[in-house]
């Protein structure tokens, strides 16, 4: 059986979640860097494979998949020894899926809406977008109240994708102190992921994006 191929860029948050899961599963990818800062994702060969031209994109023996959370679910189903990370119990899985969709459509979306225009093009910070992000972090805080992990009584891929998002917020110096359950859960998840090269695969890359953001803020006078 041939090794699945992962097209990726190390600092990209959705790529980071895939690399962390691969480490947890002991899965070796054939890794191919696509430098989106240089527009490599727009090359005809890549667009022919993924018309949406985004990373991460995976090719597992002809199964081409993008959308990081769909890749996470597939990899657990295909390569994990148990269903622990993506439980097959339909009621637990429903909660995992809800959290995955919440991260995709709401929390991570609002993070990118607020930080990325400044980070990439030096646009001024938008207070309406900050308020919408803060609202979403509040929803996560409410979800996590009384729970150790986001969807089950143990770590799942819902925690993994949310961990990448929330650790990125922390690196951006988003004030997490008012969100006590988020903060406690974040520390718990970091500890859980420490043996899986967490610092190298996620924390250092979150800092790299935060440095880019701060450099742009300094250039534009922090407006
Ligand atoms: N929802 C997607 C987001 C993918 C995404 O936006 N990837 C960015 C890098 S972080 C990208 O490839 N941008 C280049 C492009 O879209 O052309 C996922 O979770 O995989």
pLDDT tens digits for range 179-195? 999 999 999 999 999 99
Give the percent of the chain with pLDDT over 90: 96
Query: Same structural domain for residues 71 and 143?
Result: no
Q: Name residue, tokens 């929330």.
A: 166
CA of 49 to the centre of ligand 1 (A): 15
Shared domain check, 58 and 115: no
CA–CA separation, 137 and 183 (whole Å): 11
Q: For residue 84, is it within any domain? A: no
Picking from 57, 79, 101, the residue at the C-terminal end of a domain is 79
Is residue 207 over pLDDT 70? yes
Q: What is the C-alpha to C-alpha distance for residues 175 and 133, in angstroms, rounded to an integer?
A: 11
pLDDT at residue number 220: 80
Tell me, yes or no, whether 85 lies in a domain.
no
Q: Comparing 221 with 20, which gets the higher pLDDT?
A: 20
Q: What distance in Å separates the CA atoms of residue 69 and residue 161, rounded to the nearest whole number?
A: 7
Atom index in ligand 1 nearest the CA of residue 55 equals: 12
Residues 169 and 117 in one domain: yes
Is the pLDDT reported for residue 223 higher than 60?
no
pLDDT for 2: 86
- Mutating to test ligand 1, I would choose from 14, 71, 115, 209 the residue with most ligand atoms within 8 A of its C-beta, which is 14
Structural domain contains residue 182? yes
CATH code of residue 53: 3.40.30.10
Structural domain that includes position 59: 5-79
The pLDDT, as a whole number, for residue 129 is 98
Residues 178, 99 share a domain: yes
Residues 214, 116 share a domain: yes
Is 222's pLDDT higher than 70?
no
Q: Specify whether the CB–CB gap between 182 and 141 falls below 8 A.
A: yes
- Kindly state whether residues 151 and 108 are assigned to the same domain: yes
Q: Cα torsion at 132, 133, 139, 145 (round to 10°)?
A: -150
We report the CATH number of the domain holding residue 199 as: 1.20.1050.10
The residue from 50, 79, 108 where one domain ends is 79
Q: Count the domains in the chain.
A: 2
Local structure of 31: helix, strand or coil: strand
Query: DSSP secondary-structure letter at 174?
Result: -
Contact indicator for 149, 159 with CB cutoff of 8 Å: yes
Shared domain for 107 and 200, answered yes or no, is: yes
pLDDT grade for 144, boundaries at 50, 70 and 90: very high
**Same domain? 126 vs 191:** yes
Contact present, 36 and 120 (Cβ < 8 Å): no
């Amino acid at each position: 059986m041939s090794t699945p191929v992962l097209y990726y860029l190390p600092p990209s948050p959705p790529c980071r979640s895939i690399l962390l899961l691969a480490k947890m599963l002991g899965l070796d990818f054939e890794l191919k860097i696509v430098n989106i800062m240089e527009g490599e994702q727009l090359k005809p060969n890549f667009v022919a494979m993924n018309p949406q031209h985004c990373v991460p994109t995976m090719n597992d023996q002809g199964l081409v998949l993008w959308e990081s959370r769909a890749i996470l679910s597939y990899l657990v189903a295909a390569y994990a020894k148990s269903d622990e990370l993506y439980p097959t119990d339909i009621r637990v899985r429903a909660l995992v899926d809800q959290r995955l969709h919440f991260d995709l459509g709401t929390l991570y979306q609002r993070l990118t809406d607020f930080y990325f225009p400044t980070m990439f093009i030096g646009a001024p910070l938008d207070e309406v977008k900050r308020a919408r992000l803060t609202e979403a972090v509040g929803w996560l805080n409410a979800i996590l109240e009384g729970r150790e992990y986001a969807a089950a009584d143990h770590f799942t891929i819902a925690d993994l994708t949310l961990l990448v998002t929330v650790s990125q917020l922390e690196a951006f110096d988003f004030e997490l102190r008012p969100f006590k359950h988020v903060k406690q859960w974040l520390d718990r998840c970091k500890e859980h992921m420490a043996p899986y090269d967490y610092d190298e695969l996620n924390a250092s890359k979150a800092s790299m994006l935060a440095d880019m953001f701060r450099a742009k803020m300094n250039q534009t006078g922090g407006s």
